Amino acid sequence: MSAAFDRVVVLDFEATCQPGVPPSPQEVIEFPSVLVSLRDRAVLDSFGTFVRPVHHPALSAFCTELTTIRQEDVDAAPVFADVLAAHRAWLEGHDLFDSQGRERFAFVTCGDWDLQTMLPVQCAASGIPIDALPRAYRRWINIKKVFLDAMKKAKTTGMPAMLQALGLDLEGTHHRGIDDCHNIARLALALADRGARFELTGKLAASHYPELPLELQWGDRRERVFLKKRHLATLLGLASGLFRTRIVRALGPDGAAIEDDDPLAELPADARVRVFSARDPST
């Protein structure tokens, strides 16, 4: 999905939980991160704070036992929107975005849950549009996949098992976010020593994005539409039905060809997209 990254930010949410089905909506109660330089083989900094849940403010005994996070920890904590803003400022303070706002790093998670599932659920619960977040929060490296690629004979990818396979001890408390982040960082450094490449392994599914109002232009015709799923095939199919011809190509507002789904995740509302049929000379 991309070139390898030299700097990564390990992220591992802890969230409200209970035996069986989690609370609805489930909410983040710890937001930790660890910044790692894979090139220099070093942990550079860490970020960590508890988060106050607002829909289900009382933690279950099960949650406290699993995470060691106490009721008084979250009662005194800021809400998610404020923590997210502080986290973004922390990333920016480490020069992790270029002058155009493009990320110079990737998040590393232990599994896909944190950014594929938990972040969209939390953003919806907090009234934060998921497509308003920097792209970095919608792409990630699942260290389990890096581990399996580097350790060909490995059969399990639980955090303790991965640490053991690399000759490392579990430090701190498992299921305490900041401790898990430091352990994942140690995994990342050990895998880097073995020559592992840290490339993106996942991105937010199109189903998590809201429908997108667009203006489609074919020749001199312009039509307002709502793109329900941010898939290129959906866009081309919508345009083909609208203009009653087979549309095979699309250009974004910047004139660049839309060749896969990724540019659609970054399109602003009401953007103009030019489309072309199979018979248009420009194709």
Q: Give residue for tokens 């399996």.
A: 148
DSSP annotation of 38 reads T
Q: Which of 87, 175, 182, 208 is catalytic?
A: 175
14 is catalytic: yes
Determine the Cα–Cα distance for residues 283 and 275; give it in Å rounded to an integer: 10
Peptide bond between residue 25 and the one before it cis (omega within 30 degrees of 0): yes
Q: Give residue for tokens 């983040």.
A: 28
Q: Which of 14, 27, 30, 103 is catalytic?
A: 14
Q: Residue 86 corresponds to which tokens in the numbers above?
A: 């502080």
Determine the Cα–Cα distance for residues 170 and 102; give it in Å rounded to an integer: 34
72 is catalytic: no
Determine the Cα–Cα distance for residues 84 and 226; give it in Å rounded to an integer: 29
Q: Residue 107 corresponds to which tokens in the numbers above?
A: 């998040």
Determine the Cα–Cα distance for residues 256 and 169; give it in Å rounded to an integer: 49
Q: Residue 213 corresponds to which tokens in the numbers above?
A: 């109002």
Q: Residue 48 corresponds to which tokens in the numbers above?
A: 């960590």
Determine the Cα–Cα distance for residues 127 and 118; give it in Å rounded to an integer: 14
Q: Are 30 and 14 in contact (CB under 8 A)?
A: yes
Backbone angles phi, psi at 143, to 5 degrees: -65, -20
| Positions marked catalytic | 14, 175
